[in-house]
């Protein structure tokens, strides 16, 4: 059968970056008959449903973001689906009806609930068959900002997602005058099946920022011929690309804010002097965003739904599936741009805070794309002399321990690079002699104060995990009784992703003993960021010296980084554990965790 989603190669890149001013669900323009069970708000303003009893319809809906109608998978006819507003301490009932021709599901991301209500086909339940209604029912034991999405194949990429706002049982710690959800997503007119097949055939297909001759001559000028040649040789030997920051780019993606393309300009209103709460959710399939509001200082007050000690920042990076709540207090009677640029600088989502509808502020130019650094390749080995990892001063080297594929890099100097202390890592035997693993990091970095590629030393105050401190401390102050170490592995050229070199279809479950406190150690042996999500239990990120830092449901592990977090195995059942990059998960970076 002919695909409903032909690849968008004939559309202009500008149209994909900016989208249409009226892009979005056709239903929002009144062209489809709505169900009696729900009602859409105006375009760009998802409906809000409150209470304890909800009816959600999953169906195909026509959308138009680029000038060409496409079929999306929607909840109650909208992208995003309705914001569901719950109350801590209540029990919610959600009747989800599948009007698709294929099975579907909804996963309540970050919600602590019984495993059979978690919504992961093949793990917690069979899925929702076409024409059937499945009823979720569970107690709400937390408050904050979360989201929901499909866990069935690629439906999340085609629009099946929405936000969750849970009001606390008691007083709000950070009251505000206005409260807005700001959901970020990536939309493509191409089908996700086509995108995934393309990545399997040619992993860098969507990366148009390949190293150029002018850049080589710039490096010769800045670093000398010998070092410039050595660097190019190194990348060629590893069959890797220093500009490979995002697998799927703005070449095919239009970036959305609350279901609205940049040209549509989603707008949140305020009166000067008011305190405005913005609940940022990265509900994209593959895109990491860097967020700022030029002219306004943001105060981060919550991470992944959990209140943190307030942190004033100019900018923050939000990885896939993370949420951050911020407060802003605009004093002037003017508009401010909410700007969320993709990590690879190929596009952006944007909206506006304004006193009146129709006002706009200047949209800033995107920052330059910064290449992957030595720190992102080599971890602590590069921190000793390279700071945040440039190649300067690395000449005269004949080998580099710890990185597969880097055995012959004559012309680069390692003197002083091993000065930084690094933990001992334990690579699994399955990582070796494995076509699915193209590199190992033997000396990963453990610091949490690095904002990451593209944000280092940019002149703005950028949030890092080291800034985050969950109020109230750890939920379980016991010392872990054991450790589980897993490595995030892959072969970028072949587009294979895994834990410990073993893809999900070949892996056995990870077992947690009921009631135990354990420490999970993750080592990123790749040059990509991986947001790792454990279902059903909190992940309590630790500082490099092992102290409690921040409680999260999704932890982004940077390239060549080792992180640790505590987990209390207090929720019996079978749980999904995976990278939240949708195509990484589908390609194998997924495990089942069994608590028994």
Each residue's pLDDT tens digit, 103-116: 999 999 999 999 99
What per-residue confidence (pLDDT) applies to 20?
Answer: 82
Among 253, 236, 254, 250, which residue's Cα sits nearest to residue 208? Answer: 250
For the beta carbon of residue 118, count every other beta carbon within 10 angstroms. 27
For the residues 162-191, what does the mean pLDDT come to? Answer: 98
Please report how the helices 225-238 and 213-223 are oriented relative to each other, as an axis angle in degrees rounded to 10. Answer: 130
- Token duo for residue 461: 């105050």
Any idea which residue has 């893809």 for tokens? 503
DSSP 177-220: SEEEEEEEEEEESS-HHHHHHHHHH-TTTT------HHHHHHHH
pLDDT in tens, 193-219: 999 999 999 988 888 765 555 665 666
User: Rounded to whole angstroms, what are the CA distances from 308 to 218, 473, 554?
Assistant: 44, 10, 15
pLDDT value of residue 221:
74
Q: What residues form DSSP beta bridges with 519?
A: 483, 566
| DSSP states along 341-409 | EETTSS-EEEEEEESSTT---PPPPPPPPPPP-HHHHHTHHHHHHHTTT--TT--S----TT-TT-S--
Query: What is the enclosing helix (H) or strand (E) of 583?
Result: helix 582-587
Read off the pLDDT band of 241 (50, 70, 90). low
Average pLDDT, the chain: 87
Instruction: For residue 185, give the nearest of 79, 83, 40 by alpha carbon.
Output: 79
d(CA 349, CA 340): 5
Is the Cβ–Cβ distance between 544 and 510 less than 8 Å? no
The pTM of the whole model exceeds 0.75: yes
d(C-alpha 237, C-alpha 218), whole Å: 21
Tokens of 72: 């999306």
Task: Give the model's confidence band at 315: pLDDT under 50 very low, under 70 low, under 90 confident, else very high.
Answer: very high
Neighbours of 413 (CB within 10 A): 15
């Amino acid at each position: 059968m002919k695909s409903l989603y032909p690849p968008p190669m004939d559309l202009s890149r500008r149209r994909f970056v900016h989208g249409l001013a009226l892009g979005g669900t056709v239903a929002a323009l009144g062209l489809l008959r709505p169900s009696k069970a729900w009602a859409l708000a105006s375009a760009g303003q998802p409906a809000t449903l409150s209470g304890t009893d909800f009816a959600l319809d999953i169906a195909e809906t026509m959308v138009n973001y680029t000038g060409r109608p496409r079929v999306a998978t929607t909840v109650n006819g909208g992208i995003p689906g309705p914001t569901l507003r719950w109350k801590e301490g209540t029990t919610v009932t959600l009747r989800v009806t599948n009007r698709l021709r294929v099975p579907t599901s909804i996963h309540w991301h970050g919600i602590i609930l019984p495993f059979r209500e978690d919504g992961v086909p093949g793990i917690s339940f069979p899925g929702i068959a076409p024409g059937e209604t499945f009823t979720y029912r569970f107690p709400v034991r937390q408050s904050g900002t979360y989201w929901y999405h499909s866990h069935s194949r690629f439906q999340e990429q085609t629009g099946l997602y929405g936000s969750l706002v849970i009001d606390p049982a008691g007083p709000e710690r950070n009251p505000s005058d206005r409260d807005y959800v700001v959901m970020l997503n990536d939309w493509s007119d191409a089908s996700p099946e086509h995108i995934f097949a393309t990545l399997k055939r040619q992993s860098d297909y969507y990366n148009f920022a390949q190293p150029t001759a002018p850049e080589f001559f710039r490096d010769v000028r800045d670093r000398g011929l010998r070092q410039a040649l050595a660097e190019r040789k190194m990348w060629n030997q590893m069959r890797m690309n220093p500009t490979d920051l995002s697998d799927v780019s703005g070449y095919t993606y239009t970036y959305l804010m609350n279901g609205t393309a940049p040209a549509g300009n989603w707008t949140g209103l305020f009166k000067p002097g008011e305190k405005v709460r913005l609940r940022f959710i990265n509900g994209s399939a593959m895109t990491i965003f860097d967020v700022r509001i030029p002219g306004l200082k943001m105060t981060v007050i919550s991470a992944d739904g959990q209140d943190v000690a307030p942190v004033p920042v100019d900018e923050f990076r939000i990885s896939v599936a993370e949420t951050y709540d911020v407060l802003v207090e605009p004093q002037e009677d003017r508009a401010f741009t909410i700007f969320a640029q993709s990590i690879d600088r190929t596009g952006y989502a944007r909206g506006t805070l304004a006193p009146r509808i129709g006002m706009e502020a200047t949209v800033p130019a995107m920052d330059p794309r910064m290449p992957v650094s030595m720190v992102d390749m080599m971890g602590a080995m590069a921190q000793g002399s390279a700071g945040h990892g440039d190649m300067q001063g690395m000449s005269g080297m004949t080998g580099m321990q710890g990185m597969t594929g880097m055995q012959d890099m004559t012309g680069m100097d390692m003197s002083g690079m091993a000065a930084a202390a690094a933990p001992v890592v334990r690579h699994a035997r399955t990582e070796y002699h494995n076509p699915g693993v193209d590199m190992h990091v033997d000396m990963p970095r453990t610091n949490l104060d690095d904002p990451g590629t593209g944000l280092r030393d940019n002149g703005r105050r950028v949030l890092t995990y080291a800034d985050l401190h969950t109020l109230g401390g750890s939920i379980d102050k016991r010392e872990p009784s054991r450790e589980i170490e897993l490595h995030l592995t892959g072969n970028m050229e072949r587009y294979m992703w895994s834990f410990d070199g073993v893809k999900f279809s070949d892996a056995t479950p990870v077992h947690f003993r009921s009631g135990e406190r354990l420490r999970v150690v993750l080592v990123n042996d790749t040059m990509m960021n991986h947001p790792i999500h454990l279902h059903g239990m909190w992940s309590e990120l630790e500082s490099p010296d092992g102290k409690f830092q921040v409680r999260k449901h999704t932890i982004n592990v940077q390239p060549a980084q080792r992180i640790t977090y505590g987990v209390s195995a207090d929720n019996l059942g079978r749980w999904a554990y995976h990278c939240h990059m949708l195509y990484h998960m589908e390609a194998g970076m997924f495990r089942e965790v069994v608590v028994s």
